Structure 1
Amino acid sequence: MRKPRPSRRSAAAARAKRETLKGWLQISGVVALTAVVGVTYFMVAKGAKALDDETLCPREPSSVTVLLVDVTDPMTTAQKQDFQNQLDHLRRTIPRYGKLIVTKVDSSSSELLKPIIVRCNPGTATDVSEWNGNPRAVQEAHDQKFVAPLEAAFKDLSGASGADRSPILESIQSVALTELAPLESSDTPRKVVVVSDLLQNTDAINFYDRLPSPDELLESAAFRRVRTDLSGVQFEIWMLERSDATTTQPRALVDLWDSAIAAQGGSIERAYNVSG
């Protein structure tokens, strides 16, 4: 027996049902796409940081590194080159949104130190994509507003000051109070890089005349006046060797600084002799 063919009314109803289902599928696709775009925009906006126009720093940097330079005597040609190499390496280690503060020891130590330059790394083109940023703009900011100003500042750091005083401990206290203590998050990595011959030279503490023992230094009234809270701060020491290093810069000198920094809660992670 032949099956009856569907009526025109039932065929029209089936077509209407298919069109309705197709419409719902299209609407669902648009809603899903809108949701994906919305979530993506939210995540990008959430991850974006408002940066200072000059320093490129966000309100909360990802890390803080202070470069404290104390050059009293002229560097040799080899020292200048190695110093430049170390500076370039330091700049490359600053993470995205990390802050680098460059300052020099002030022989007078009568005021808190003021930075020579402050810059944060805005990242490079590899840190963003067309979906969540502008790779070209980020790279230009990195090259023109981060690298170029720092390289210009670095050129003047190797010049000798000729000062007859080196208040290194006072300078560390200064940067700890002005650059490290105001951080809102205690979890922010903090580092101080000290470039010096390490010979503290003030009326109260003088490593030239005689190198004190760690106990003698730490128990002195003069040290109590210059100590500060360095809890969690990592240090790098770049020692500039003098021509009379065998007598003025014995191994005990670095050990003394290790004791002085540890007594304040910090730690020396790297001690490096600048070549030359």
Structure 2
Amino acid sequence: MARRGGRKKKKTNIGAVLGAGVLGLLSLGMIAGFAWMWSRTDKTEIVKGTNCPATGATSATVVIFDATDQLSPTTLTDLKNQFREIVGSVEKGGYLRVVSLTGRPGEIPLMFDACNPGDGADLDSWTGNPEMARRKWKQAFDEPLAKLPDAIANGTEAKQSPIMAAIQKVKLTVFDGEIGAGRPNRLFVASDMIEHTDLYSQYKAGPDYEKYAGSLAAKEYRTPLGGVDVSLLYVERPNRKFESLAHVEFWKQWVERQDGSFVKVIRLAGLNLAGAEQ
């Protein structure tokens, strides 16, 4: 009888060990599952109003729309297409500012100012809410930006076109400021690029860089552009005294002599009669 009792006790101990092992494996599986879900959850703290990460934007992109002259419907359509590509290239957490160029040097009214909150494509239904993220992205980022080119279509018929002053203002306030310092910086200028101020006018001097270098504008608008990638969305005007290629070369020199990186020029479709010559 004693031996039978001993055997039953041994079987009970084995069952307990096996049960404990199964529970242990289940616990480890649950822990691993929670750890996986935690690792997949977006824990980035977002600043309300700008949708930027609390740790700072991952990059800074600025678009300057020249609103001093009217755009043709064809050019406006192409500008919308190019602007859509620029917006699409701003990554989640990347900052985008859109300003307009007026006739007063250094005056660049704000049109848009926020980070890309992400469209939810990087989320899944287990750890996030992709649909809610997409709705937020459309409301706060996509839809407001789609309307901006129309706001500058008719122009303001300004007497001056201070492009250099606008670029200088962007560099000092955005790229050198808290938003852009130490981050990848990109600048896009949508304009006919005809600099025209009291200090220097390409209507008179043409795209002669040496004439510009001898003007007061070269000192007033000197702008160190180190670390900034510059691209032009070039608006064509008829009856100018100089060729577009020579004009683009002037701006390439202007950017590079101030340590900036001239990336590309996109000649927008269409011909724009307003502001053609003075």
Smaller-chain TM-score bracket: 0.7 to 0.9
**Is 1:131 aligned to 2:120, yes or no?**
no
Of stretches 144-153 and 49-58 in structure 1, the one that deviates more from structure 2 is: 49-58
Say which SS state the counterpart of residue 124 (structure 2) adopts.
coil
* CA RMSD in angstroms, aligned pairs only: 2.3
With the length of structure 1 as denominator, give the TM-score of the two structures.
0.87
What one-letter code is carried by the residue in structure 1 that aligns with 2:253? S
Q: 1-side partners of 2:215 and 2:196: how far apart?
A: 15
Select the residue among 241, 248, 251 that pairs with 1:257.
251
What one-letter code is carried by the residue in structure 1 that aligns with 2:102? D
Select the residue among 215, 219, 242 that pairs with 2:237.
242
Select the residue among 94, 97, 101 that pairs with 1:101.
97
CA drift of 1:224 comes to 2.2
Gaps of 5+ in 1: 1-5
Q: Which residue pairs with 1:180 in the alignment? A: 175
Of stretches 218-227 and 235-244 in structure 1, the one that deviates more from structure 2 is: 218-227
Q: 2-side partners of 1:219 and 1:232: how far apart?
A: 26
CA drift of 1:101 comes to 0.7
Say which SS state the counterpart of residue 203 (structure 2) adopts.
coil
Q: Which residue pairs with 1:78 in the alignment? A: 74
CA drift of 1:65 comes to 1.0
Change (3 A) 1:20 1:187: same
Q: 2-side partners of 1:58 and 1:137: how far apart?
A: 18
Of stretches 186-195 and 17-26 in structure 1, the one that deviates more from structure 2 is: 17-26
Q: Percent identity?
A: 24
Q: 1-side partners of 2:14 and 2:244: how far apart?
A: 92
The Cα offsets for residues 89-113 of structure 1, whole Å up to 9 and x where unpaired, read as 222222112121110113112x553
Contact conserved, 1:57 with 1:99, CA < 8 A, in 2?
A: yes
Q: Which residue pairs with 2:193 in the alignment? A: 198
Q: Which residue pairs with 1:27 in the alignment? A: 24
CA drift of 1:19 comes to 1.2
The Cα offsets for residues 77-133 of structure 1, whole Å up to 9 and x where unpaired, read as 211211121122222222112121110113112x55342111322112321112332
**Is 1:141 aligned to 2:136, yes or no?**
yes
Gaps of 5+ in 2: 271-278
Say which SS state the counterpart of residue 264 (structure 1) adopts.
coil
Aligned residues: 268
